[in-house]
Amino acid sequence: MTLTTANLLQISNVTKRYSTVIANNDVSLNLFKGQIHALLGENGAGKSTLVKIIYGLVKPDVGDMILNNKVYAPENPKKARMSGVGMVFQHFSLFDALTVSQNVLLGMDKSISHNSLMDQIVDVSTSYGLPLNPNRIVGDLSAGERQRIEIVRCLLQKPKLLIMDEPTSVLTPNEINQLFNTLRKLSSQGTSILYISHKLEEVRALCDTATILRNGSIVKSFIPSKTTSAEIAELMVGQKVKPTIKIKSGLKETVLQVRNLSIKSKNTFGTNLKNINFELHQGEILGIGGVAGSGQDELLSALTGETNLEKNTLLYKNIDIGWMSPKQRREIGLLTAPEERLGHAAAPEMNLIENSLITAKNGHGLVKSGWINLSKAVKYAEDIINKFDVRTDSAKNSAKNLSGGNLQKFLIGRELNQNPEVLIVNQPTWGVDASAAQFIRQALLDLISKGNAVIIISQDLDELLEISDRFTALVNGSISKPQLTHTLSVSEIGLMLSTENRTGLEA
């Protein structure tokens, strides 16, 4: 750890509001020279907004910043870069068909000759341990190598502060180690790094200081190497308001059973599921928490029927249904709502009538011996629109023209309207405004009051603790034993979410 006390960036009392939501509430933060500072928090805690303010993408409503003893209020990212602030985004913006050096050249603010740029790229990449051949075509490179281009692009402008937004989400363990070495080297030479992550182990391995944001406010700053993962997780979770305890006379009959489910992810950067076991009972909501990329997508597609399962890994009312297609599962009452609305749950160019046909069961008479009954389909879609308060002027609107909240109400409504025995939803309220989110949660609660069962996979812990009867967490593709939510203490939840008791990270 570098012990410098010189201030680089002081953020004082920054507040940013988006209509009804406070993204940043009176945030004050000091960054020291040469320090690696982690910014932690759940999704929607306000990390990105704060970083966007520093990088000039968003202007704060209140508050000011001082960079190197000068007032700092960047109007745009270009001004921020000129003041010495660089940022590496989670998603890269590179042209696949161009070479490394051409890509870097395109991103330069100052004009520079191609040859001297090549030399500089080689210089920077060797001195910081970022092996990169400027003549390679970007399309041939791995995610780690692409990220190096973005880093080199920033370093060429000699930044005093480098912001990294979840840099390890696309990297292999080896690439992560390499990245950490580079970042340590940079910090030892006096560059400050603001490191956004929700992977606690990484933060503990790399960062000098960490600050936790929750609901837009700073909770605490601490030294991560002297704090356990469980303690950090507990801080991130906070003192949740306990929901009114639903008194239940024990658990009812089991409807869905997952037994020793292991799946290799189809996606190169996906997470393999490791020996997952849980049961779902009638009339309950099972909440599955965990940070993004812990295997949520893989678990959902195993449950929907998009992934083939081994025998006896998924049982519905004691019958093996692992072989069934999504359509067959729907017909026996197992319905799902995936996280990605446009492109997975809904077809963007199609209108709501056609989108309602994607999952509608044949029982509704919408399709008779293959022919679609258009007037019935229109009625069906309009029925969903009315019942679930979807704000749209017509059912003929295409899905992509609806706001996130309205489309989600429609998609959840599409499943609820079929009265599912088991409904599995992934991130039901992600990117949805507060009132729509409340509406969706209430609709799920109404469903279980009829004795049906729900699984919610979510990264919003508040949501899970508010409505789920039992809670478990998905961490690195494995799941802990579900516990009754109202009996869990904050530190127990923190422990379930932390990686400490599972596979550690090599760093």
Contact residues for other proteins (CB under 8 A)?
57, 76-78, 81, 89, 93-95, 103, 106-107, 109, 153, 304-306, 325-328, 330, 336, 338, 340, 342-350, 354, 357-359, 367, 370-372, 374
Output the 3-class SS for 42-58: CCCCCHHHHHHHHCCCC
With 0-12 / 13-18 / 19 or more C-beta atoms within 10 angstroms meaning exposed / middle / buried, residue 359 is buried
* CB neighbours of residue 378 within 10 Å: 18
Smallest gap from Cβ 270 to other proteins, in A, equals 14
Six-digit token string for 277: 């076991």
Of 75 and 239, CB closest to other proteins: 75
Contact 94, 146 (CB under 8 A): yes
Smallest gap from Cβ 198 to other proteins, in A, equals 22
Q: Residue 206 corresponds to which amino acid? A: L
Tell me the C-alpha distance between 323 and 309, whole Å.
Answer: 6
Query: Of the candidates 11, 38, 72, 84, which has an alpha carbon nearest to the alpha carbon of residue 194?
Result: 38
Of 93 and 503, CB closest to other proteins: 93
Smallest gap from Cβ 329 to other proteins, in A, equals 8
Smallest gap from Cβ 4 to other proteins, in A, equals 28
Of 57 and 122, CB closest to other proteins: 57
Helix or strand or coil: residue 168?
Answer: helix
Contact 387, 412 (CB under 8 A): no
Of 211 and 301, CB closest to other proteins: 301
Contact 385, 394 (CB under 8 A): no
Of 362 and 501, CB closest to other proteins: 362
Which residues are within 8 A (CB) of 19 and not within 5 positions of it... i.e. 6 or more apart? Answer: none
Read out DSSP for 410-454? HHHHHHHTT--SEEEEESTTTT--HHHHHHHHHHHHHHHHTT-EE
User: Pairing between strand 161-165 and 192-196?
Assistant: parallel
Smallest gap from Cβ 79 to other proteins, in A, equals 12
Phi first, then psi: what are they for 324, rounded to 5°?
A: -75, 145
Of 204 and 414, CB closest to other proteins: 414
Smallest gap from Cβ 358 to other proteins, in A, equals 5
Smallest gap from Cβ 234 to other proteins, in A, equals 35
Tell me the C-alpha distance between 474 and 166, whole Å.
Answer: 19
Smallest gap from Cβ 83 to other proteins, in A, equals 14
Q: Residue 114 corresponds to which amino acid? A: H
Residue-level length of the chain: 507
Of 76 and 442, CB closest to other proteins: 76
Of 343 and 504, CB closest to other proteins: 343
Residue 191's H or E segment, with its range, is none
What is the tally of helices (H) and strands (E) in the chain?
A: 16, 23
Contact 46, 39 (CB under 8 A): no
Smallest gap from Cβ 337 to other proteins, in A, equals 10
Smallest gap from Cβ 347 to other proteins, in A, equals 4
Of 83 and 499, CB closest to other proteins: 83
Residue carrying the six token digits 């579900």: 482
Torsion of CA 208, 213, 217, 218, to 10 degrees: -20
Of 408 and 468, CB closest to other proteins: 408
Of 359 and 480, CB closest to other proteins: 359
Of 65 and 324, CB closest to other proteins: 324
Tell me the C-alpha distance between 398 and 353, whole Å.
Answer: 9
Instruction: Work out the angle between the directed axes of helices 404-416 and 434-449 (0-180°, nearest 10).
Output: 10
Six-digit token string for 388: 């679930």
Smallest gap from Cβ 451 to other proteins, in A, equals 26
Smallest gap from Cβ 373 to other proteins, in A, equals 9
